[in-house]
């Protein structure tokens, strides 16, 4: 029996996609990769995932787990492998409001989890532009970040338990709802960020938090990046650590936004070098009720902090949202980042992480180094400044500079104690970086783990670990 016939018998014809129906699975969000799977298996349960993996092992066919196909690093690329889509495994199994946890399947769309939590007065604090299509399995497999990492941590920190199907079809049940479980190796963490190279995540227990009662959101122009970090620290102290997001957009980004989307209102009449979108949020009634002075305390804290720094000359201008509509308009400028930065081609984009105190030094060093490679280069950046994650993009003046630019960025990042990969995963696009920059002993251990769990090398082969 052929693999397709066996899959059809196990899942039903409607859940084995072949031929022209494969079209919607043949690209990822970036458009740089054009996968060509032999078929797409769409299991509807953990047992069916196990059956698919056993069949793939028997036929020697690589398996590439896929969810929302919102990745940009080639993690779902294949030539002839089998896509295993978790899209039908889209059930929220349970939510325990009193414990603030949700048990969800891997195909649950992030926005749907947001909506279900919000209906119970709770919040799932993983927030980024692709939330309307990204799925839980994908965000776990890449350890996705987003705008709220500063306060709540990345996906890894939001996961209490996992259910994983191994390459040979065995089901590994790590579905704990415990906050403490010190019983040997934490295998759960090994599968988060593994990009489907060790097994297929089928379900997870995720932490929820109380939904904020009030937000205070502002856009500020600051003299420089050290002053921006001073503003962040001052806000954290004033609010008791309530800063949810602290996003950096330099002049280059604002200029590109203005040119590409003239319908989006700019925050200031003058373009500034350092622009910060900041948001604080609170669940405490004392922070959210209108006070005797007619102000909401949370917003008053933000206003007073900005006013003091304007008085000191480090904040040059500020705009504070007076309504939810204004807040969403501020976020729109930031959430258009992928569209804005990719509106010009070719691009050489990076996803780097740096110690906070080294962010300004990175820009000084890389801007001094790039002219030797390309005198006509331009750059654009958007950053989660609060956690040191920069999406630094170079617009080269000619083709053929990708490797040289990436290595230059890696050199500076490594010298400053940073990482070449922050939140998008490794996939195919960062394999060369892994080979050049990852600790050799770490790579040896990763290969040993891969060999132990996937001895035939059929789970998303060629990703994450360089040959």
Domain boundary residue among 338, 353, 388? 338
d(CA 122, CA 210): 5
115-140 core/surface letters (b: 16 or more CB in 10 A; e: else): ebbeeeebbbbbbbbbbeebbbbbbb
Q: Which residue range(s) make up the domain with 184?
A: 92-210
Domain boundary pick from 338, 366, 400: 338
**323 lies in the same domain as 364:** no
- In the predicted model, what is the mean pLDDT of residues 175-192? 95
Q: Does one domain contain both 188 and 107?
A: yes
pLDDT tens for residues 106-132? 999 999 999 999 999 999 999 988 899
58, pLDDT greater than 90: yes
Query: Could you tell me if 25 and 49 lie in one domain?
Result: yes
By CB neighbour count within 10 A (0-12 exposed, 13-18 middle, 19+ buried), where does 61 fall? middle
Q: Say what the pTM is.
A: 0.93
Indicate if 56 and 103 belong to the same structural domain.
Answer: no
Provide mean pLDDT across the span 290-315: 91
Q: How many domains, in total, are found in the chain?
A: 4
Which CATH number do you get for residue 14? 3.30.43.10
Residues 334 and 398 placed together within one structural domain of the fold: no
Residue for token pair 């989890």: 113
**Whether residue 331 sits in one domain with residue 362:** no
Pick left, alpha or beta for residue 69 (phi over 0 → left; psi -120 to 50 → alpha; otherwise beta): left
137: domain CATH number is: 3.30.465.10
Give tens-digit pLDDT for 128-165: 888 999 999 999 999 999 899 999 999 999 999 999 99
- Share the mean pLDDT of the chain: 95
Q: Where are the alpha helices (DSSP H) in 276-416?
A: 285-288, 297-312, 324-335, 337-341, 359-373, 402-415
Do 231 and 182 share a structural domain?
A: no
Residue 295's pLDDT band (cuts 50, 70, 90): confident
> Is residue 26 located within the same domain as residue 140?
no
Q: Which residues of 275-303 are buried (b: 16+ CB within 10 A; e: fewer)?
A: bbbbbbbbeeeebbeeeeeeebbbbebbb
- Answer whether residue 430 is part of any domain: no
Reported as a single tens digit per residue, the pLDDT across 339-350 is 999 999 999 999
Whether 460 is covered by a domain: the verdict is no
> Considering the domain boundaries, does residue 433 fall inside one?
no
- What CATH number is associated with residue 385? 3.30.70.2740
Checking if the pLDDT of 30 tops 90, the result is no
DSSP character at residue 257? H
Q: Do 245 and 133 fall into the same domain? A: no
Q: Tell whether 276 is covered by a domain.
A: yes
Here the CATH number for the domain that contains residue 323 is 3.30.70.2190
Mean pLDDT of the 26-43 span: 89
pLDDT above 70 coverage of the chain, percent: 100
Q: Using pLDDT thresholds of 50, 70 and 90, give the confidence band for residue 396.
A: very high
The dihedral sign for the CA sequence 366, 368, 369, 374: positive
Q: What is the structure's pLDDT at 414? A: 97
Tell me: do 245 and 309 sit in the same domain.
Answer: yes
Q: Quick one: pLDDT at residue 70?
A: 87
For residue 58, tell me if it sits in a domain. Answer: yes
Q: Is the confidence at residue 31, as pLDDT, over 80?
A: no
Residues 375 and 295 reside in one and the same domain: no
Between CA 458 and CA 57 the distance in angstroms is 7
| Closest CA relative to residue 7, chosen from 36, 37, 47, 40 | 40
Q: How far is CA 386 from CA 241, 247, 260, 403, 430, in A?
A: 12, 7, 26, 29, 24
Report the pLDDT averaged over residues 311-320: 96
DSSP-assigned letter for residue 104: E
Across the range 97-109, mean pLDDT stands at 98
Tell me what pLDDT residue 130 has: 85
Query: Could you tell me if 231 and 201 lie in one domain?
Result: no
Q: In angstroms, rounded to a whole number, what is the distance separating the alpha carbons of residues 88 and 195? A: 19
The verdict on residue 300 lying in a domain is: yes
If phi over 0 gives left and psi between -120 and 50 gives alpha, with beta otherwise, what is residue 388? left
Percent share of the chain, pLDDT over 90: 93
Cα(430)–Cα(416) distance, rounded to whole angstroms? 19
Mean pLDDT confidence for 408-417: 98
The answer on pLDDT for 292 being more than 90 is no
Instruction: Give the pLDDT mean for 426-455.
Output: 97
> Residues 77-95: pLDDT tens digits?
999 999 999 999 999 999 9
Q: Mapping DSSP to helix (H, G, I), strand (E, B) and coil, where does residue 368 land?
A: helix
């Amino acid at each position: 029996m052929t693999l397709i016939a066996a899959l059809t018998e196990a899942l039903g014809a409607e859940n084995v996609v072949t031929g022209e129906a494969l079209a919607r699975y043949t690209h990822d969000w970036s458009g740089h990769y054009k996968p060509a799977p032999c078929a797409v298996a769409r299991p509807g349960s953990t047992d069916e995932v196990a059956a698919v993996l056993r069949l793939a092992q028997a036929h020697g066919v690589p398996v590439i787990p896929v969810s929302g196909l919102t990745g940009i690093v080639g993690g779902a690329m294949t030539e002839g492998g089998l896509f295993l889509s978790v899209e039908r495994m889209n059930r929220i199994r349970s939510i325990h409001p009193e414990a603030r946890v949700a048990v969800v399947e891997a195909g649950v769309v992030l926005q749907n989890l947001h909506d279900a939590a919000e209906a119970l007065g709770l919040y799932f604090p993983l927030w980024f532009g692709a939330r309307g299509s990204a799925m839980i399995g994908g965000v776990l497999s890449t350890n996705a970040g987003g705008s709220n990492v500063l306060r709540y941590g990345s996906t890894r920190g939001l996961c209490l338990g996992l259910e994983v199907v191994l390459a040979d079809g065995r089901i590994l049940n790590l579905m704990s709802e415990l906050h403490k479980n010190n019983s040997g190796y934490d295998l759960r963490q090994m599968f988060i960020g593994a990009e489907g190279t060790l097994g297929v995540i089928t379900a997870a227990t995720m932490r929820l938090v109380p939904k904020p009662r009030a937000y205070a959101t502002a856009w500020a122009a600051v003299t420089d990046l050290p002053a921006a970090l001073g503003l962040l620290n001052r806000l954290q102290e004033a609010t008791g650590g309530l800063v949810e997001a602290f996003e950096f957009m330099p002049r280059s980004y604002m200029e590109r936004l203005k040119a590409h989307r003239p319908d989006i209102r700019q925050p200031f009449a003058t373009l500034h070098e350092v622009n910060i979108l900041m948001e604080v949020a609170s669940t405490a009634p004392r922070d959210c009720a209108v006070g005797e002075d007619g102000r909401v305390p949370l917003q008053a804290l933000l206003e007073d902090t900005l006013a003091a720094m304007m008085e000191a000359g480090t904040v040059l201008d500020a705009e504070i949202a007076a309504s939810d509509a204004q807040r969403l308009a501020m976020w729109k400028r930031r959430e258009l980042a992928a569209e804005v930065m990719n509106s010009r081609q070719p691009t050489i984009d990076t996803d780097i992480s740096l110690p906070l105190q080294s962010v300004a030094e990175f820009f000084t060093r890389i801007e001094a180094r790039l002219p030797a490679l390309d005198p006509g280069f331009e750059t654009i950046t958007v950053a989660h400044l609060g956690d040191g994650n920069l999406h630094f993009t170079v617009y080269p003046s000619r083709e053929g500079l990708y490797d040289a630019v990436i290595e230059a960025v890696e050199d500076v990042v490594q010298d400053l104690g940073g990482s070449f990969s922050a939140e998008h995963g490794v996939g195919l696009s960062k394999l060369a970086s892994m080979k050049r920059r990852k600790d050799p002993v770490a790579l040896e251990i990763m290969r040993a783990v891969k060999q132990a769990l996937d001895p035939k090398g059929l789970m998303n082969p060629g990703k994450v670990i360089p040959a």
